[in-house]
Amino acid sequence: MPRELVLHAAEALFADASTPTAVSMDDIAAAAGVGKGTLFRAFGSRDGLLDAVFAARLNPLRAEIARVGSPIGPQIPPADRVVGLLELLLVFKLDNPRLIAARELSGSSLLRAPHYRWVHEFLRALIEETGTPSTSADYAAHLLLNGLRADLISELLASGTTREQLLRELTRTSLRLLE
C-alpha cells in the first residue's frame, strides 16, 4: 500500500467534504484504491489515519522550525518563536478546517495524539526559554494550543471575526501570557 497515496486521498476527501463526519474509511479506501481492511491494518482507526495525515502535514513545519533564517528558526528569540509557531498553526487550521475538525472533534483524546504531544512539548520548551517558570510552561502551552481548537476558530469566524483579527489576538494574547 503506498502510504503517501492513502494520505493524499484522505486529505483531498476531507478538503472537499461538507462536514468532518462525511468522510468514511470506505471513502478513503476507495479513493486510494485499497481495501478498507488495509487501512485499518496500517493505521488502526480513522483517528490513526488522521494522525498520520497530520504528521505528514507537520513535517514541513518541523523543518521550518529548525531552519536558520526561518521566522521561527533557532536564531529567533523564544517569545517570537512562540508567536510564530502559534501563527503557523492557526493558518494551518484556517486553511484546513474540515481536516482539523475531523480529528479534533472525533471524540478520542486529542491530548494523546502524536502531533499534539510533539507541538505541545516544543511549545512548552519555548515557553520555558522565555523565562516562564517550568511549572506553568506546561499549562501555558496547553492553554495556547486550546485557543486554536477547530470549534473555537469556527465559532469566532461565524461571529464575524476575521482571519487577520484572529492572528492579531493570538499574538497579543500569547505575548501577554509570556510576560
Main-chain phi, psi angles of 2, to 5 degrees: -75, 105
Query: For residues 96-123, b (16+ Cβ closer than 10 Å) or e, as one string?
Result: bbbbbbbbbebeeebeebebbeebbebb
CB atoms closer than 10 angstroms to residue 18: 8
What are the pLDDT digits (tens) for 49-91? Answer: 888 888 888 888 778 777 777 778 888 899 999 999 999 889 9
Predicted local distance difference test score (pLDDT) of residue 111:
77
Predicted local distance difference test score (pLDDT) of residue 108:
66
CB 96 within 8 A of CB 154: no
With a cut of 70, list the residues of the chain below it in pLDDT. 1, 106-108, 134-135
Which residue in the block uniquely carries the three cell numbers 493524499? 8
SS3 for 148? coil
Residue 107 falls in which region: left (phi positive, over 0), alpha (psi -120 to 50) or beta = left
Q: Cell numbers for 91, please give them.
A: 493558518
Predicted local distance difference test score (pLDDT) of residue 73:
81
Q: Kindly report the CA angle at 55 between 25 and 31, in degrees rounded to 5?
A: 30
Predicted local distance difference test score (pLDDT) of residue 33:
92
CB 151 within 8 A of CB 105: yes
Q: Residue 127 carries which side chain, given as an amino acid letter?
A: I
| Cα gap 70→169, rounded to integer Å | 22
H/E stretch holding 165 reads helix 163-177
The closest alpha carbon to 119, from 100, 144, 97, belongs to 144
Which residue in the block uniquely carries the three cell numbers 495556547? 144
Give the global pTM. Answer: 0.81
